[in-house]
Each structure stands twice: as structure tokens, then as C-alpha cells.
Amino acid sequence: MADELRLVLLGGYQSGKSNVAHSFLNVKCKSDQTTTQCVKMEGNIHGRKIILVDTPGWWKFFQLCDTPERLKAELVRSTNICPPGPHVFLLVIEVDFAFSEKHRKVAESHVQFIGDDIWNQTIIVFTKLGDKTIEQYVESEGENLNKLTQKCGNRYVGFDTNLDTDGSQAKELFRQIEKLVAENNGCFFQVDASRLMDLEITMKNVEEKAAAREHQVLEKRRKLKEIKSADAGHDATPLNIVLLGWVLSGKTLAGSVILGTDISFDKTSKCVRTCGEVNGRQITVVDTPSWWKFLPQQLNADSVKTEILKAMDYSPHAFLLVIPADTTFLEEHLEVMLENMRPLGEKVWRQTLVLFTFGGSLGNKPIEYHIESEGDALVRLVEMCGNRYHVFESMRKDRTQVNQLLEKIEEMIMENALLKSNDEHQEKKKKSQEGEVLSEWLPVKDVKKLLNEEWDRSDTIEMLKTVTPQRVVRRGRSMQLSLDLSGEVNTELFINKHQLKDAIEREWIRKEARNSSRIQFQQKCLDANADMSSCDDDEDIQMSLAKVHDWYQRHYSSDYASVSSYEEHDKTQQDRDSSLSF
């Protein structure tokens, strides 16, 4: 039996991992802050040294592919923080929500990302049991939970940190850990050395690129500030800002943070113009309807496209492209974003700044680390915006982060003024050069003759005939299911129905996650004696997938819009049904 026990805690966001860690080691929890990076703790139980690593939690509704790269790196890195490797993994699952197939698949994919053999050294720890026994819960949850417990060799314990006043649950957990270590003959889990080395090299490379990007941005801002300082009083002019982004990106909440107004939880189905005064300056913020995150621009409702174009009527000085920092950014997201931005014109990128929301998930990592760790797609988007970006670390009314954002917008306006002046100069220069070299141009009839000769010799005539003015997207076989979507849909657009179903489910994942977080937040704030039932909310979350399936059966369609908050106001059942219908 090893004198030292090394443990790693895994689990979803708000699962109670950190509470388990502190209660098990009998140490006081320092803060209620979310774990964003691996945290190593030490303690002593019955003369045994305990090393415990707490890891960042994943969203319980997010597929592994939608989890940020930096979080996935932390999961793998956790095994290297307690060398030579952990004896036991504790998978923490809270029981205050029904355990669905989606929860099971998400948990399995995140745990198995660390290594295929991990299940032989894993114990499930159920938290927030309340008045249920662990046997009652496991029996009531049925097939999905049974599949997960079987993967772990039916090893599970209940650990309600609020009820373990005598320490009996902690003792039972310790007994189960010792038993598993004995069954494995004291063996510990090891990630392949080459994988750890590759991860270390990748993280170091990301850190270097992040530092270089930060330096580049600071140097550019320093030069713009020097120019801007000569234009005293310019900051007092009115400023018009337009918010753009996908569903549940945090647009509406960001607008409320900027203006310091009350948060609205209504759907943004049309352009909403809100005016306010910030530091003595008149600011107008225009919130726009959101586009889909995973679905092509052609599937947006006509009203969404129309309202986004209407935002141009407000003569915007700046567009804020809102992207949440607590999720990944893939090539598919970039493609959808570019499609939705294209109607605004190529020059819109000169006036666009990326605003990252929910930056609290970054911990002490700079936003540049997130940009570089996500890879080429996000890097390209940021650079299309002239390397202009900002992060709202808190979605509360923090005036410091708002003032910094307004400074960056002002610098962007100054940069555009310089570009415009340079463009005018280049245009004059171009016209002058055209006049000088006019004699070098070939007559049109000669060019036509040359093209005709080349055409006759070309073997690519059939290829040229197939070129069409519209972009055709084909993914697998065309759908046999006809879609009755509102508005006009490109008849040459085909999407495999299984891929479409998966995309729609992913669209709703963030809504389910926010609803889950909001419900837990409300429960935490309620008085212990208050009489409240959350059955309707639980049913909402569990029936989300059923709503998607129902949409396939009935072929209904409706507008949608953004709801940008961790906590929503309660809705009637009719409102919920409406918001979940397509």
C-alpha cells in the first residue's frame, strides 16, 4: 500500500468538486471562485499523505468538441501535476438534475479524453443528495446512469458536504479509495509520455504567441494614443455601437454592461436601440437579432437578415462582434460568422472589434492565450478585425472594463481615419499611374482574340460551364425531409439530415447550460424554508432534445432571438414552448 495517495477530481461545472476537495481534506474553502485551472492541494488522513488535484469543470451539456482547448489541456495536465501519476480519479456528479443520455455522453467523452484505461481507476462521487439515499438515486435514474456506473466497476459513493457533519461520508470515500488502490496493487495512472511532451510544447508555443500578440497590440495602441492625444475633446462626440453575434453569445448582457442599465431578458427579435451617457459622453447601443452558431446563414429567418442590415441605418462608428470565451471556436463557427457578416460589406471589418464575453472562465490566463490556444480559425477572425479585441471578464457593471473598451473603440476610429486618408491618397496615385501607362494597354479586340485562341486549346471547357453564381453547399446526401423554414431558402443548399439534427442540438446546448446555471443560482439564493418547486424548469431542460425531435416531425418554424445571461427571468410554460419551437 502506497504511503502517499494521489487523487484527481473531475466533473462538470457547478458539480460541487471544490467543496468535495476541501471537505475531504478538512481544509477551509478560501473562496467561491470557479476553478479555471488545475489546483493542487495537500492534506493528511490517518497518517497518509494526500495529494489532490482539482480540475476545471466542463459544461454538462457541451460536447467535447465544444469545450475550449485550454480546458481540455488542463484535464490531461492534471495527471502530471501529481507525479508520477494519480492512483484514483473521483468523478463528481450532482444529483439535483435528472441524469440524461446527453449528460452521460458528455461525462464519458471528457473523462476518456484523458486516457482509455482511466475507468479502472475511477470512483463516482454523487453530491447534493438532499434527502435521497445513494441507492434510491442510482435506482431511479435508470439506464444512462447504470451505463456510467458500470464503466467504473459499480464504484460510487454519496458525499453531501452540507450533511456530513460527523465525517462519516468522508470516511466512506477514503475507504473506497483505499480499496480501489489495493485492487490495482498500488498502480497509478500514467498518460503517454509523448502526449505529455507534445502538450508541454504546445502550451509553451501558445504562451509565446500570446505574449507576442499582446506586445504587438500594446505597441499599436501606444502609437495610436500618441496621435489621438493631439485631438483634444474628440472623446466628447456621440458614439454609435452595433452588437453582432450568434445566439446566447452575451450580446444583450454586454450592451447592458456598457450602458450600466438594467439587464433585459426579452428576446432580441428586432433591432433595439438604447441610449445612455457614459463618462459624460452620449452612447447609443444597437442590439441586433442573433444568427445561428452552427447552421448556415441561409437558414436564418428573413427578419434576422433584415434587422441586421437595418442596424446600418444608425450610422455606426463601431461593430462589436460578441463571442463567448467559455466555449471553443472552430472553422465551422468562422465560416458561419463570415457568411452572416458578408451582407454588411467588406469594409465592415475596419470598424469591427471582437468582444469576448464571460471572460471569468479564463482565470489568470490572458485573453491572448485563449485566442492562440483555439487555433487558426479564431486567430484569423481576430486579424480580420485588425487585431482589435477586448474581454469582459465580469458580466456585471464593471466600469473599468467598459472604459477600456471605449478607449479601444476610439483608437479604432482614429485608425480608420488614417486608413481613409491613405486610401484617398492611393486612389489619386492610381489614377495618375493609369493615365501614364495607358499606352501600354492592349486593344480590347486583341485581348478577345487571344482569349478565344486559348479557349479553343483548353480542355477545361466543361468545368467552366459548371460555374454558377450561387455557392452550393453539399454535405453528404441531400435531405429527404422537407424543411418548412420561414423566409426564402436557397434551393441549392443541401445538408445531411443527421448533421442538421446534430447542429440544432448544439445550438440549444448553450441555452440548456444557461438555464441549468440559472436554476442552480436561484436555488442557492432561496431561503432554506422557502416553498418552491423547480419541476417545470427541470422538465424544460430534459425536454429540450424532445423539442428538437418534435420539430422534425411537425416541420414548424418561427423566428428566434438571443437571450444573453446566466440567469433568466422565469417564463410561463407557454413562453418556454414558444422559445423552444423552430
Output the average pLDDT for the chain.
79
Give the pLDDT score at 95.
Answer: 82
Lowest mean pLDDT among 101-105, 223-227, 433-437, 572-576: 572-576
d(CA 142, CA 145): 6
Largest interatomic CA distance in the chain:
97
| Partners of 246 in beta bridges | 291
| Residue 423 placed within a domain | no
134, 162, 191 - which closes a domain: 191
CA distances to 186, 189, 218, 359 from 117, rounded to whole Å, are: 15, 8, 46, 34
- Is residue 174 domain-shared with residue 255, that is, in the same domain? no
| Residue 26 placed within a domain | yes
175, 191, 207 - which closes a domain: 191
- Is residue 297 domain-shared with residue 383, that is, in the same domain? yes
Give the pLDDT score at 51.
Answer: 96
d(CA 551, CA 365): 41
What is the DSSP code string of 105-170?
A: HHHHHHHHTT-GGGGGGEEEEEE--TT--HHHHHHHH-HHHHHHHHHTTT-EEE--TTT-SSSHHH
Instruction: Tell me the per-residue pLDDT of 116-160, one tens digit each, with 9 for 90 and over.
Output: 899 999 999 998 877 777 888 888 888 889 999 999 999 999 887
Give the pLDDT score at 276.
Answer: 93
Instruction: Tell me the per-residue pLDDT of 333-352, one tens digit each, with 9 for 90 and over.
Output: 999 999 999 999 999 999 99
- Is residue 175 domain-shared with residue 255, that is, in the same domain? no
pLDDT band at 405 (very low <50, low <70, confident <90, very high): very high
pLDDT band at 477 (very low <50, low <70, confident <90, very high): very low
Q: Greater confidence, 358 or 163?
A: 358
Q: List the Cα angle 428/430/433 in 5-degree steps.
A: 110
Give the pLDDT score at 520.
Answer: 65
- Is residue 241 domain-shared with residue 204, that is, in the same domain? yes
pLDDT band at 417 (very low <50, low <70, confident <90, very high): confident
pLDDT at 472 over 60: no
171, 191, 211 - which closes a domain: 191
d(CA 71, CA 86): 19
| Residue 231 placed within a domain | yes
| Residue 437 placed within a domain | no
Give the pLDDT score at 581.
Answer: 38
Give the pLDDT score at 549.
Answer: 52
pLDDT band at 487 (very low <50, low <70, confident <90, very high): very low
- Is residue 58 domain-shared with residue 128, that is, in the same domain? yes
| Residue 446 placed within a domain | no
For 430-464, b/e burial (b = at least 16 CB within 10 A) is eeeeeeeeeeeeeeeeeeeeeeeeeeeeeeeeeee
C-alpha cell at 169: 461520508
Does residue 84 have a cis peptide bond before it, meaning omega lies within 30 degrees of 0?
Answer: yes
| Nearest Cα residue to 388 out of 365, 415, 361, 423 | 415
C-alpha cell at 451: 482569349
* Average pLDDT, integer, range 464-488: 39
Lowest mean pLDDT among 178-192, 234-248, 275-289, 467-481: 467-481
pLDDT at 195 over 90: yes
- Is residue 183 domain-shared with residue 285, that is, in the same domain? no
Do residues 52 and 43 touch, judged by C-beta distance below 8 A?
Answer: yes
pLDDT band at 485 (very low <50, low <70, confident <90, very high): very low
170 C-beta neighbours (distance < 10 Å), count = 19
- Is residue 171 domain-shared with residue 203, that is, in the same domain? no
Phi, psi of 207 (to 5 degrees): -60, -40
Q: How many CA atoms lie within 13 A of 457 on its CB side?
A: 5
Burial (0-12, 13-18, 19+ Cβ within 10 Å), 554: exposed
pLDDT at 468 over 50: no
Do residues 36 and 77 touch, judged by C-beta distance below 8 A?
Answer: no
| Residue 443 placed within a domain | no
Number of domains within the chain = 3
* Average pLDDT, integer, range 520-525: 64
d(CA 511, CA 69): 21
Q: What percent of the chain shows pLDDT beyond 90?
A: 48
Instruction: Tell me the per-residue pLDDT of 290-334, one tens digit each, with 9 for 90 and over.
Output: 999 988 888 888 889 899 999 999 999 999 999 999 999 999 999
Indicate the SS3 state at residue 552.
helix
Q: What percent of the chain shows pLDDT beyond 70?
A: 70
Domain with 317 in it: what CATH number?
3.40.50.300
pLDDT at 489 over 90: no
pLDDT at 68 over 80: yes
Lowest mean pLDDT among 5-14, 222-231, 489-498: 489-498
pLDDT band at 497 (very low <50, low <70, confident <90, very high): low
Indicate the SS3 state at residue 209.
helix
- Is residue 131 domain-shared with residue 256, that is, in the same domain? no
Q: Which domain holds residue 565?
A: 475-579
Q: Is the dihedral of CA 489, 352, 266, 327 positive or negative?
A: positive
- Is residue 256 domain-shared with residue 357, that is, in the same domain? yes
- Is residue 404 domain-shared with residue 305, that is, in the same domain? yes
| Residue 368 placed within a domain | yes
Q: Greater confidence, 103 or 433?
A: 103
d(CA 8, CA 199): 19
Tell which phi-psi region holds residue 300, choosing left (phi > 0), alpha (psi between -120 and 50) or beta.
beta
Give the pLDDT score at 509.
Answer: 75
Instruction: Tell me the per-residue pLDDT of 258-291, one tens digit each, with 9 for 90 and over.
Output: 998 877 667 788 999 999 999 889 999 999 999 9
The pTM (predicted TM-score) of the whole model is 0.76
- Is residue 85 domain-shared with residue 124, that is, in the same domain? yes
Q: Greater confidence, 92 or 495?
A: 92
| Residue 289 placed within a domain | yes
- Is residue 518 domain-shared with residue 564, that is, in the same domain? yes
242 C-beta neighbours (distance < 10 Å), count = 27
d(CA 128, CA 15): 9
Q: Greater confidence, 475 or 445?
A: 445
d(CA 109, CA 103): 10
d(CA 540, CA 545): 10
Q: Give the total residue count for the chain.
A: 582
